[in-house]
Amino acid sequence: MTDSFMILKHPLSTEKSIRLMESENKLVFMVERRATKEEIKTAFEDMFKIKPAKVNTMITSKGTKKAIIKLPMDKPAIDVATKLGIM
């Protein structure tokens, strides 16, 4: 997979994801199910020019995949969320 927009589908703006954004500097995205953590990290870096500190993934009960992307402390997640229009 090479297209960043195919890997990172859309950000989540649920109550829990907003709390993670504010308290732990993390963003939550729905991602392509077959994408690896490295592909997600690269796609995020290509789209936002920020190197993620860590990527965790999970398969939801609906069979979709979520990625929780931790940003470095010098790059606030709220700034990225504002650019995306979810804050």
Please write the tens of the pLDDT for every residue from 23-82.
Answer: 999 999 999 999 999 999 999 999 999 999 999 999 999 999 999 999 999 999 999 999
- How much is the pLDDT for 21? 96
Indicate the pTM of the whole model: 0.92
Helix (H), strand (E), coil (C) string for 62-85: CCCEEEEEECCCCCCHHHHHHHHC
CATH number of residue 28's parent domain: 3.30.70.330
Its domain, for residue 51, covers 4-84
Count of domains for the chain: 1
Contacts of residue 60, defined as CB under 8 A and 6 or more positions apart, other chains included, come to 66
